[in-house]
Amino acid sequence: MRRGGDERDWRGADVPLEVQIAKNLPDFSLEVSFSSGDGPLGILGSSGAGKSMLLRCIAGLDRPDRGRIVLNGRALLDTEKRIQLPARERRVGMLFQHYALFPHRTLGENIAFGIGRLSPGEQARRVAGLLQRTHIAGLEHRYPREVSGGEQQRAALARALAIEPEALLLDEPLSALDTHLRSQMEAQLQETFAAYPRPALLVTHNIEEAYRLGEQLLVLSRGRVAAFGPKDELFRAPPTLEVARLTGCKNFSRVRPVSADAVEALDWNCTLRVSHAGQRPPAHAGIRAHHIEIADSSFTTGGEKENVFPCWLARSSETPFRVTLYLLLHRPAGESSGTSGEYSLQAEVSREKWLLFRDKPLPWQVWLSPDSLFLMPD
């Protein structure tokens, strides 16, 4: 028996999850509208952008001021029709950042919490299957405090899946885990998504996590949808400066169009050839740090290349496998009024490559490939 949810909306039936909500928050208002197909959707945004609130509204733990949420043709919320299903009737599985496993129940009892209406035999079968799928078989009699953070997260995932939810919501599922456990849990999530052809919304502020786990990406900024689409597209050509920043792009310059396929980059002091100019007149150009190519003297292969400029090294920052180079275009570091912190471009190269040319004399050459450059209208 469902209250209110019986009303089927066949217009929305072809889209598994349709969300359109507005809620006033202390600092800004959350106004989000999107629809999700089956499969994982990464929700990316800086902290406080409203990501968690969005999930909570879908799960029924918070109440939007107005809006409509339709899951598989079932209205979970429709403020106009005064439909508001309580959380327990939404059949939406939620994975909490800190797992929220019941501390007074064993992992097995936690997983079985939502399926009490099934027969004991059926419950046991389902719990056993979930323990297998989440790779924590044998731990069902342990209490949450007796297992590791990763195992707790797996149990929490199993518990959410036990009710066979029609959608899965994951709130920063990996943020409380250390690096090693995180990659294991990431593999677990990928496995789960593959076996679970339903909408899965994954909130994160980690760009790489969002890219690896989501098929589609929704970028949230101060309560608004800044971008929404297939992840490759969003990363290749971010629609706005903000989305470019949120997806991890480090290099921007104001630009002025000079012809159909060229712009003048004001901050980089050069004219750039571009391959896709976009529809609206561009205001900014951007290029990702790892797309910048560097050579010690000149790019010899393939003849004359476009967008090749001399550059000087301002400073570098090394991590075990990657090196970030802060480069100045056209002039040596420390010349003119330049302070020591000044740089034009931030490039990322592998450590091996860095070792090859770090002792070569300056200036080096930097290549801003027209295919890697993207233009943004704002």
Partner 1 sequence: MTPADWSPVWISLATSATATLFTLVAGLSAAMWRARRSGPVMALVDGIFLLPLVLPPTDVGCFLLLLFGHNGPVGRILLHFGTTIVFSWPATVIAAAVVAFPLMYLTARAALEQVDPQFLQAARTLGASEWRVFREVALPLAWPGVIAGTILSFARALGEFGATLMLAGNIPGRTATIPIAIYFAVESDDIRTAMAWCLIDVLISLALLGGLYYWTNAQGRGRARLARR
E strand or H helix at 200, and its extent? strand 199-204
Region near partner 1 per CB under 8 A, out of 122-130, 157-165, 210-218, 329-337: 157-165
- CA distances, 182 to each of 111, 209, 214, 246 (Å): 21, 10, 16, 21
β-bridge mates for residue 202, sequence order: 42, 170
89 binds partner 1 (CB under 8 A): yes
Binding letters toward partner 1, positions 58-77, x by CB under 8 A: -xxx----------------
d(CA 178, CA 165): 28
CB of 146 to partner 1, least distance (A): 9
Cα 90 to Cα 259: distance, rounded to the nearest angstrom: 54
**Binding test (CB under 8 A) with partner 1, winner from 82, 145, 279, 359:** 145
Minimal distance, residue 217 CB to partner 1, in Å: 24
d(CA 326, CA 316): 6
User: Site for partner 1 (CB under 8 A): which residue of 51, 68, 74, 91?
Assistant: 91
Least Å from the CB of residue 69 to partner 1: 14
Interface residue with partner 1, options 80, 88, 335, 341 (CB under 8 A): 88
Q: How far is the CB of 42 from partner 1 (least distance, A)?
A: 21
Instruction: Give the H or E element holding residue 317.
Output: strand 308-318
159 binds partner 1 (CB under 8 A): yes
Q: Does 82 bind partner 1 (CB under 8 A)?
A: no
Output the CA angle 80-93-29, nearest 5 degrees. Answer: 45
Q: Which stretch binds partner 1 (CB under 8 A): 4-12, 77-85, 102-110, 180-188?
A: 102-110
Retrieve residue 10's tokens. Answer: 């066949």
Contact status, residue 213 vs residue 345, Cβ threshold 8 Å: no
State whether residue 296 is helix, strand or coil.
Answer: coil
- Binding span for partner 1 by CB under 8 A among 91-99, 186-194, 323-331, 368-376: 91-99
State the nearest-atom distance from the C-beta of 60 to partner 1, in Å.
7
Cα gap 232→268, rounded to integer Å: 26
Q: Is 100 in the site for partner 1 (CB under 8 A)?
A: yes
Q: Give the residue, chosen from 26, 80, 103, 319, that forms a contact with partner 1 under the rule CB under 8 A.
A: 103
Residue 19: its H or E element:
strand 17-24
List residues near partner 1 by CB under 8 A.
59-61, 86-94, 96, 98-104, 113-114, 144-145, 159-160, 162-163
